[in-house]
Amino acid sequence: MRLVKKIAYACYSLTFGLLALTSCTDGELYDVNAPDWISDKIQEIEDSKKQPEEEVLEGMQEDVYTIGNTDFTSSWWAAFSKYYVVPDGEKWNAVFNLHINPTDNTYYKNFVLVITNDADRGGTGYTEYGAIRFDFAAALNSEWGDYIDRQYISSTLIFSPDESNIDANVQKLGGKVTLTVDRTSENAFTVKITNSEVTKIYKQPYKEENLNTNANNANIRCFLVTEGSYIDFLQTNIVPIGGLTSVEDKNPVSMVLQDIPDQVNVGTPLEEAMADVSAIITFEEGVTKTVPAAELTFSAIPDMEQPGVKTLVAIYNKTFKGENCDKPIMASTTFEAVEKIASIEVTTPPSHTQYYYHSSAATESLANRTMAFDPTGMVVTATYTDQSTRTIDNAKLSFSAVPAKAGSQTVTITAGEGITATVEVTVSKSTTSEVRNTANMVGTENNSTGFKAAFSDYFNIPVGETKSIAFTNYSNQASNWNNFVVVLRKANHIDEYAYVRADNWGEGKGYGACVHNGTQGDWNTWLAGMNGAKVTVYVTNCGNGTADVQAVMEGTTGTTSTQYYLGINTVNPDDLHFALTVDGCHLVFNE
């Protein structure tokens, strides 16, 4: 070994000596007449600079399948990978090709890693640590969740999307991606996502807590979700639930039909009637894939020319790779063929016909503000062309929005082209009253209190009322979200409708339906003024199964900004409470 080192040292000495010599003799070392071994060595050094050494992953196994539609049409939360269970003390490595739509530069249309407890998605006890998307837009939602702390995120590429969410840098996220979820440290939890151009890392300097209902189960689960993109999965070091997928083709073994219409008009072509149907196909080795109606063959027994209950038979005859399979598979279900609707009538009015709204500095400039119609309790009866009648499920109807203006307002109910009815509702301004918190402070004065670790009192909001609360917001100013948070819950203070932040973002089952916007402007300037900002929050029980949250923030820099969230739904009007919580900030009341 010593002899080898001495020979290597001599070779390097000779090389550096020759380099020095050429500086005085016209650079012959780089000339075509230079010795071949020297030229080769120089080229080797240059190549090593251009191509960083790829990390060697151990224990990788083939797992070949596709996540998302290859025409880039998969919407959010529609296409999922398998579950990969990562035990405590272990590391999950995955390799896949990420395909970004070349004609769509929407910054968030790439992929998301979702980290959960050891439960099926949406099943009993299912809890998410959070989600990490490959892009990194510092002021936006590139990662989220109650157990993901964005201050520990870093990336070699920071996105700056325009007002239309466009950033051409999203194209740099495509190609071969290596993903690592590392639980091997006793004092850290790390996620690394990297390709040839971009590396994003989440390095949490403490162990993630156990969210499983069984304290003896320390496993977590990971899965991938695409949006407007698709993934060709290649390798994993952990065998997923359902097993590995080899490159060998697989025959279908069973299928489950989805989105079958309950009723179809007599005489409608079957392909048209079933256009929105899809099927979950299970192949050999337990691999599954969702296929659209266009890849299925349908027949109805008896035919569609007469009203009555029909048996729908669907046939699928492709392998996992899309070749003709050895033996087609079938599935069946029923639907009803009915005469065409001639008219509809509201035979029982909705339970809630009195709506309320509140205007503050956050919303007073909105020109065409509307509210959602609440059909709860309403019964609509259809009359068909054969003069028969039946009740229509409200979920199959559409409703016009309700103008947020005092007075009687007409809602149009639509059951099909030219088939409408109307119902009247009354809109009024809510009554407003101020509430005061019992304690003078929420959160520690040094702004070290974590997300949802301290709460104000909970305040009940009866139907038709707006509650306002004033306080001073103090922030550690590390990130936009290190300010006050408004939480909407039931009286048990557990069942949550949504939570919304000061920086135009929120989450929860009722959040997706709301309209939201803010006037914060430049985020750095706004954040600088939030340490000591005078804030008033308004929460309204609109009476239609929704709630509004508005905030007026007088910053210390002399600028007043506003924020609104209108139409947070899934709210029980008879059980709405709100509280304030913190995230790296503290709130002072009753000054």
What pLDDT, in 10s, does the model give residues 361-405? 999 999 999 999 999 999 999 999 999 999 999 999 999 999 999
* Whether residue 299 has pLDDT greater than 80: yes
According to the model, what pLDDT value does residue 55 have? 63
Please give the pLDDT value at position 426: 98
- Cα maximum dimension of the chain: 104
pLDDT at residue 516, rounded to an integer: 96
Q: CATH for 252-338?
A: 2.60.40
Share of the chain above pLDDT 70, in %: 91
Mean predicted confidence (pLDDT) in 63-76: 94
- Is the pLDDT at 176 greater than 90? The verdict is yes
- Alpha-carbon span 219 to 117, nearest angstrom: 7
CATH node for 341-429: 2.60.40.3630
Task: Summarize pLDDT for 424-482 with one digit per residue, the tens.
Answer: 999 999 999 999 999 999 999 999 999 999 999 999 999 999 999 999 999 999 999 99
Q: Are 571 and 501 in contact (CB under 8 A)?
A: no
CB count in 10 Å sphere of residue 421: 18
349 or 26: which leads in pLDDT: 349
Please report the pLDDT score of residue 59 as a whole number: 87
CB-based burial of residue 131 (10 Å sphere; 0-12 exposed, 13-18 middle, 19+ buried)?
middle
Q: What pLDDT score does 320 carry?
A: 84
> What is the pLDDT, as a whole number, of residue 433?
98
Most confidently modeled range among 22-26, 143-147, 191-195: 191-195
| Domain 61-236 falls under CATH 1.10.390 | no
The pLDDT of residue 23 is above 80: no
Please name which of 108, 109, 113, 138 lies closest in space to residue 128, comparing C-alpha atoms: 113
State phi, psi for 279 to the nearest 5 degrees. -140, 140
- For domain 431-588, give its CATH number from 1.10.10, 2.40.128, 3.40.630, 2.60.120: 2.60.120
The structural domains of the chain, with segments of one domain joined by +, span 2-50, 61-236, 252-338, 341-429, 431-588
pLDDT tens, 391-400? 999 999 999 9
Residue 2 has pLDDT above 90, yes or no: no
**Where does 58-156 show beta strands of DSSP type E?**
61-67, 84-86, 91-100, 111-117, 128-133, 143-144, 153-155
Q: Which residues touch 301 (CB under 8 Å, ≥6 apart)? A: 310, 311, 313
Domains 252-338 and 431-588 share a fold: no
- Around 348, how many Cα atoms within 13 Å sit in the side-chain half-sphere? 10
Give the chain's mean pLDDT.
Answer: 90
The 10s digit of each residue's pLDDT in 536-574 is: 999 999 999 999 999 999 999 999 999 999 999 999 999
Least confident of 139-143, 171-175, 502-506: 139-143
Among left, alpha and beta (phi > 0; psi -120 to 50; other), residue 36 is: alpha
Write the pLDDT tens digit of every residue in 348-363: 999 999 999 999 999 9
Task: Say whether pLDDT at 419 is over 50.
Answer: yes
The mean pLDDT of 82-100, rounded to a whole number, is: 97
Beta strands 465-475 and 143-144, pairing class: unpaired
The two three-digit tokens of residue 187, written as one number: 């004092």
pTM: 0.62
Q: Is the pLDDT of residue 15 over 50?
A: no
Kindly indicate the confidence band of residue 54, based on its pLDDT and cuts at 50, 70 and 90.
low
Contacts of residue 452, defined as CB under 8 A and 6 or more positions apart, other chains included, come to 146, 485, 487, 499, 581, 583
